[in-house]
Amino acid sequence: MNGKFFVTTPIYYPSGKFHIGTAYTTVLADSIKRYHQLKGEDTYLLTGTDEHGQKIENKAEETGETPQEYVDRMAKMAKELWAKMEINYDDFIRTTEERHTKIVQKIFDRFMEQGDIYKGEYEGWYCIPCETYFTESQLVDGKCPDCGREVKKMKEEAYFFKMSKYADRLLKYYEEHPDFIKPEYRKNEMINNFIKPGLEDLCVTRTSFDWGIKVPKDPKHVVYVWLDALTNYITALGYLSDDDRLFKKYWPADLQIIGKDIARFHLIYWPIFLMALDLPIPKTILVHNWIVMKDGKMSKSKGNVIYPEELIDRYGLDPVKYFLLREMPVNQDGLFSPEAFVERYNFDLCNDLSNLVNRTVSMVNKYFDGKVPEYNGTPNEADKELEQYALKQIDAFDEKWNNYETANSIQEIWNLIARTNKYIDETMPWKLAKEEETEKLASCMYHLIENLRKIAILISPFMNDTAQNIFEQIGIKENDLKVWKNLKEYDRICNVKVIEKGNPIFMRLDTKEEIEYIKSIMK
């Protein structure tokens, strides 16, 4: 093993079906996990559901279920979606599980004992969907600054966490750990918008509803949903439990992935809670932007919601994952449009990738009876140039992927695909065959197969089924040839036979028809 990699997604509010935007975080986390697996690292991916709070209590009331029945049904739905999306998580934590609630109570007690939590009174403007109190000055046009909905004036006896005590330590931590927050501009947002103006103590209990973890020594209070939820990352690993082997092995997380709307909780409160517990802080928290539609945020009322299941049923899983990762820039929101989806499918997947596989396999069949020629050890100028280009692209992919610039890194793979297609046009194997340039033709076929092997490895973290399909079509069976270990080698393939009649991996879609179809499922 080369090392270990522990990655987490946020735990989801189970408030209905997840749309493709919500699925994005988990698809990204899963792909990053698979990439580290490919490199031979021991990996661990944690996800789950965030099941307490007033919002859930209200939802259950609407559906006529008890809150427990409601969250049970929702957690099942989430697991079914992740199974459909082949999300390879190692643990799914639910915040209503005893392994979590018991430890949250221990943590709360500890904070009380060490004086980080004290009792006071809270009065403010409360946004029920966001489960957050705001001060008058934080409201935007009298409404919630995060979601824009109505807020309610509320007052209650409450416990507070002394955030202010940790503000300087947090700033110092940011300064000394430049990799902690990615991309970097999110750090400046935190400093300028929240820390510099003065970090207020955080109200960490509620009495206005019941569906939460009870404060051990004062059970009319329930623990604020964010204090409850954030600790999932350590309770899932057995922190403070009888069996904390996973915690010892994996904490601190190498990477926590979150969407921009929950940055404040993860970049300010979470490291402060960890400091108060004397625990190490995750190495990196990656904040991604949102998938939005042409007319803005996805919402049922706008009739612009896309659910992953419906896209997967029609187009397969890999095109959906490809699209999500390929379309999300680092610094701004990624746009979903039916036109862009169909275009990516037809151009990137069908024209570029699928055709390359198809052309190559049929040429190896035609010119060498399906048997891939051996590497001749002395590549000619054109082949050498192709080799160098491929190696350069692998490094470019790797560097960008490790910096979590997924869209840019995937572009590097598609540059390699384009270059390999161009190599066919330039080398003109049909001409070499006609002129009986057998050695050149053999070397050309070898290089095409070798590049396809490399491409299949590179796409496997996010398009695993397609990668396996390519390996099968080009006759690669040995596991060692499907992972990172021999990725850069050029002389590994021997005794390999391509499939006799391979089916195209992706067939061209009728643009007009499919755009109409996607529009119809958005309504």
Residues that bind ligand MSP (CB under 6 A): 10-13, 21-22, 24-25, 50, 229-230, 232, 258-259, 261-262, 290-291, 298
Measure the CA–CA gap between 38 and 480, rounded to whole angstroms: 10
Minimum Å distance from CB 183 to ligand MSP? 15
User: Residue 472 corresponds to which amino acid?
Assistant: E
Closest separation between CB of residue 239 and ligand MSP, Å?
Answer: 15
- Asked if 402 and 412 touch (Cβ cutoff 8 Å), the reply is no
Q: From the CB of 232, what's the least distance to ligand MSP, in Å?
A: 6
- How many C-beta atoms surround the C-beta of residue 143 within 10 A? 15
Q: Which of 24, 414 has the CB closer to ligand MSP?
A: 24
By residue count, the chain amounts to 523
Q: Minimum distance between the CB of residue 285 and ligand MSP, rounded to whole angstroms?
A: 11
How is residue 503 annotated by DSSP?
A: P
CA–CA separation, 441 vs 433, rounded Å? 7
Q: Whole-number minimum distance, CB 280 to ligand MSP, in Å?
A: 18
CA distance 393 to 513: 35
Q: Output DSSP code: residue 248.
A: H
Nearer to ligand MSP, 49 or 355 (CB): 49
CB of 407 to ligand MSP, least distance (A): 13
Identify each DSSP E strand in 15-171 by its residue range: 42-49, 91-94, 117-127, 132-134, 152-161
For ligand MSP, which residue has the nearest CB?
Answer: 259
Number of H helices, E strands in the chain: 21, 14
Q: How far apart are CA 300 and CA 309, in angstroms?
A: 16
Q: Rounded to the nearest whole angstrom, what is the least distance from the CB of residue 377 to ligand MSP in the complex?
A: 49
Reference 169, options 49, 318, 272, 55; nearest CA is: 272
Cα 426 versus chain centre, distance: 38
Nearest distance from residue 52's CB to ligand MSP, in Å? 10
Q: Residue 251 in contact with residue 239, Cβ under 8 Å? A: yes
AA letter at 199: L
Measure the CA–CA gap between 185 and 178, rounded to whole angstroms.
11
Euclidean distance between CA atoms 225 and 153, whole angstroms: 19
Q: How far is the CB of 176 from ligand MSP (least distance, A)?
A: 25
3-state secondary structure of 26: helix
What are the phi and psi torsion angles at 8 (to 5°)?
A: -125, 155
Pairing of strands 42-49, 4-8: parallel
Minimum separation from the CB atom of position 149 to ligand MSP (A): 14
Q: Which is nearer to ligand MSP, 133 or 423 (CB)?
A: 133
Token reading at 23:
């699925």
| Separation between Cα atoms, residue 143 and residue 166, nearest integer Å | 29
CB nearer to ligand MSP: pick between 211 and 446? 211
- Provide the token pair at 263: 């940055």
Residue 97: name the closest of 72, 134, 122 by CA.
Answer: 72
Q: How far is the CB of 54 from ligand MSP (least distance, A)?
A: 13
Q: Which residues pair with 214 in a beta bridge?
A: 222
Contacts of 309 (CB under 8 A, 6+ apart): 81, 84
At closest approach, how far in Å is the CB of 139 from ligand MSP? 21
Nearest to ligand MSP of 25, 54 (CB atom): 25
